[in-house]
Amino acid sequence: MIRYADVLLPLPLEEPFTYSVPPPLAERVQPGMRVLVPFGGKLLTGFVLRTAARTRKKGMTLKPVAEVLDDQPSFPASFLAFTEKLSRYFFIPWGEILQASLPPSLLVRTKATYFLSQKGAQALENGVLRPGEEAVALWLKKKAYSGRFLERKLGLKNIASLLSRMERKGLIAVKRGVRREKRRKKRKAPFRPVQLELHFSLEKSVEQAGHRIQAVLAENRFSPFLVVGSREKRQALYLELIRRVRREVGGVLYLVPEIALASDIVSRIRHSLGEEVGLFHSQLPTPQRELEWQKAREGLVRVALGARSALFSPLEEVKLIILDEEHDDSYDQGDGSPFDIRKGAWLRAKEEGATLVMGSAMPTVEAYYRAQKEGHLINLGGEEWTKRVTLVDSRKDHGLVSRLLLEKMEEKLRTGEPILLFFNRRGYAAYFICAKCGFIPRCPRCRQALAYHRKEEKLACHSCRLLFPQPPGCSRCGSRLLEKRGPGIEAVGEELKKAFPQRRIEVLSADAPSSKGRRETILGDFRKGRVDILLGTRFLIRQPDLPAAGLVGILHPEMLLHLADFRSSQRAFQTVMSFLRFVKPSPSGEAIIQTGAPEHFAIATAARGDYRAFYEQEIKFRRLMGYPPFSCLAEVILEGKNSRRLAAQARDFVKKIKEATPTVEIFGPSLGFSASGKSTPRIKIGLKAKRKQSLDRLLSRVWPTVPLRKRASFFD
């Protein structure tokens, strides 16, 4: 009998690999542990899924596990089951999910050092090497170097294949080992006294919601809830539920969309619960990230709070998962993490047998529809809408800033009240156009019109994040008559400075040229009343502690309605509501929405703060068009370095889909590029079916036949 281990590797592979377990390690290897295993001439960190003792089959040879990296499993059984379901739901390699859930210091990687062999030294001396080989040999003649060092010094993109070829020829030798991140010593968290709190009676609606959810918590079974209400009421409910779980043995996951929001909430909860609260997010320094992870695994953390990465904290016996601001785009699938955190929270709660509480003042249409239909909607009751909001029709009141808004700004400036303006278009102009031939400069990669940034005198692709010098004229006809169209936030800022030359006006957006320190200075000065007018994009609403203003101006939110997205109305409503949150809650506080579509229901209902009216209109549109929640949409993205081969694979993929079923609608394929600025070309293919199960069955057959890097996003 010999002991085997099925090991999952952090590679884009579908199945685990089987390794033999040497007798000295047989008692130590358990499911959920990290092990070091040989793979393709390297040593990789793998994750043990299962072990078994079986009779060795004749002629079967297995590579042995090289090293066990854990004293106890890194992943409990429930976590492995959750990540497997997440992998299957979004068609993501399971090993990559497990790898991403660990702190970087717990990942062991192979390192290779290259030496010039005697044969290579002789070939260099005889001058018989190829140019690339000669360049490598000249460096290795001095001393041994890593492949990464040689790549950086030589500037060769194909250095790996070159080194592999030279190794096969015997020109170089290689010494392989493992590179481990420096491990931090465990630090015992200092004791901090916990301030006793006086628990005042909760509002009746919050108290009733608490009783309803606590009754389910006591049953230790999966149950979802969608809580609709103001942020203050939701947080009061969350704290009451956390106290309930804390009185028993169990953990709490508390997810928020933004890191800044997580840091603010964790300080308040720690004030009440002390060191039992752990903070998890991707921007933590490596030592702190590992420390928080270790504390959670050892049971020293009862509440794991943070942004997206908090979903993967190694808490055991999770009883409650809170996902606040359910509507926020930050939970959506993206380039960095190709799955929806909201669905991930649902899957983990289901696997743990935990209660899932999602909360928002303006939830997604899909979540509200299901909660209402399935009976897990809790409405905490909204406050009376008292904000004074005026809609200005920009089709009648022309100009970048309407006359009424300018008059109101002048009035507020006289009384010394702060002013916040929002305009969600970056740069100075949306695009250039040749007045003679109509040519528009476009990104050579994605064909999107290039925006003009006046301060840098650059053209920018806001999709690919590429920058180009400002052209002296039209590249097609040579004309120097280039007109700017679609004014951006820089143009609005310029207009305001002309209207109020004696006032301090600052412009902030996510891609502004100012350094982070400069942005923090501007925000700090606005909080202290030193900035008269602060103009920003949606980037502003994600800044912590941004104070309310006497006047809030919202410019052209209808631009969001033009997005090629079935959720465009929902996003417009949510964006306007987010901006209106900054109106000062006093008789002098007011807002002006300057728009070319004042009659559109998304903008009109947001101006009244009426989510229910917006939902009733939007759900009719979704039902009529067959969009989610009445169908499931999938966006399949294929990536490859060779555009011609990528296009052929995309055509083959579409052909297989059509052959497999006639009931699935297909959109595309269309060419695209990564929003992270990577140069790898991508092809997008849209799929639409009545139910996700139909797409699952279809993709499970076709997915393994596509030999490319691929991922799928789902909207249902």
pLDDT in tens, 88-110: 999 989 998 999 888 877 877 77
Give residue 197's pLDDT. 45
Q: Is the model's pLDDT at 180 over the cut of 70?
A: no
In degrees and rounded to multiples of 5, residue 672 shows phi and psi of: -155, 175
pLDDT confidence of residue 514: 52
Q: Which fold has domain 388-423+488-623?
A: Rossmann fold (3.40.50)
* pLDDT band (50, 70, 90) for residue 523: confident
Q: What pLDDT, on the 0 to 100 scale, is given for residue 410?
A: 94
Model confidence at 615: pLDDT above 60 = yes
H or E element that contains 235: helix 231-246
The more confident residue out of 271 and 540 is 540
Note the helical H segments in 445-488.
Answer: none
**Average confidence (pLDDT) over 480-491:** 89
What whole-number percentage of the chain has pLDDT above 90? 43
pLDDT at 648 over 50: yes
| pLDDT, average across residues 555-577 | 92
CA distances from 342 to 241, 258, 346 (A): 20, 14, 6
According to CATH, where is 3.40.50.300 located in the chain? 204-379, 388-423+488-623
The answer to whether residue 330 scores a pLDDT higher than 90 is no
Which residues fall within 8 angstroms of residue 522, CB to CB, at 6 or more apart?
A: 506, 508, 514, 531, 534
pLDDT band at 15; cut points 50, 70, 90: confident
CATH class of 2-107: alpha beta
Cα(536)–Cα(397) distance, integer angstroms = 22
Token reading at 363: 């939830």
The pLDDT value recorded for residue 195 is 45
For position 611, what pLDDT does the model report?
95
Mean pLDDT to the nearest integer, 595-615: 95
Assign 326 a pLDDT band (cuts: 50, 70, 90). very high
Of residues 499 and 466, more confidently modeled = 499
Question: For residue 62, what pLDDT is reported?
Answer: 87
Q: Which fold is adopted by the domain 204-379?
A: Rossmann fold (3.40.50)
Over range 174-199, report the average pLDDT: 53
* pLDDT higher at 130 or 365: 365
Q: How confident is the model at residue 252 (pLDDT cuts 50, 70, 90)?
A: very high
Q: What is the mean pLDDT of residues 617-625?
A: 96
Q: pLDDT class for 196, splitting at 50, 70, 90?
A: very low
List of E strands, 283-325: 303-306, 318-324
Task: Tell me: pLDDT of 335 over 60.
Answer: no
User: Which residue ranges does the chain devote to CATH 3.30.70.600?
Assistant: 632-715
Question: Nearest to residue 338, comparing CAs of 682, 697, 601?
Answer: 682
* Average pLDDT, integer, range 648-662: 90
> Mean pLDDT across the chain, nearest whole number?
86
pLDDT of 122-154, one tens digit each? 998 888 888 888 888 988 988 888 888 888 888
Q: How far apart are the C-alpha atoms of 286 and 184, rounded to whole Å?
A: 9
78 sits in which H/E element: helix 77-90
pLDDT value, residue 513: 47
Judge whether residue 187 has pLDDT over 50. no
Q: Are 631 and 688 in contact (CB under 8 A)?
A: yes
pLDDT of residue 199: 47
* Confidence band, pLDDT 50/70/90 cuts, at residue 156: confident
Compute the distance between CA of residue 330 and CA of residue 308 in angstroms, rounded to an integer.
8
pLDDT at 533 over 60: yes
Per-residue confidence band for 53, with pLDDT thresholds at 50, 70 and 90: confident
Q: Read off the pTM.
A: 0.86
- 3-state DSSP: the chain helix, strand, coil percent, rounded to 5? 40, 25, 35
Task: Please give the Cα distance from 76 to 660 (Å, whole number).
Answer: 38
Q: Are strands 632-639 and 709-715 parallel, antiparallel or unpaired?
A: antiparallel
Where does the chain hold its CATH 3.40.1440.60 domain(s)? 2-107
| Residue 600 contacts residue 558 (beta carbons within 8 Å) | yes
Strands 355-360, 223-228: parallel, antiparallel or unpaired by DSSP?
parallel
Average pLDDT over residues 170-182: 75
- Top CATH class, 632-715: alpha beta
- Retrieve residue 109's tokens: 């990687």
What local confidence, expressed as pLDDT, does residue 200 receive?
43
Lowest mean pLDDT among 3-12, 53-62, 283-292, 518-527: 53-62
**Closest by CA position to 259, among listed 319, 198, 308:** 308
Residue 189 has pLDDT above 50, yes or no: no
Compare 382 and 634 and report the one with higher pLDDT: 634
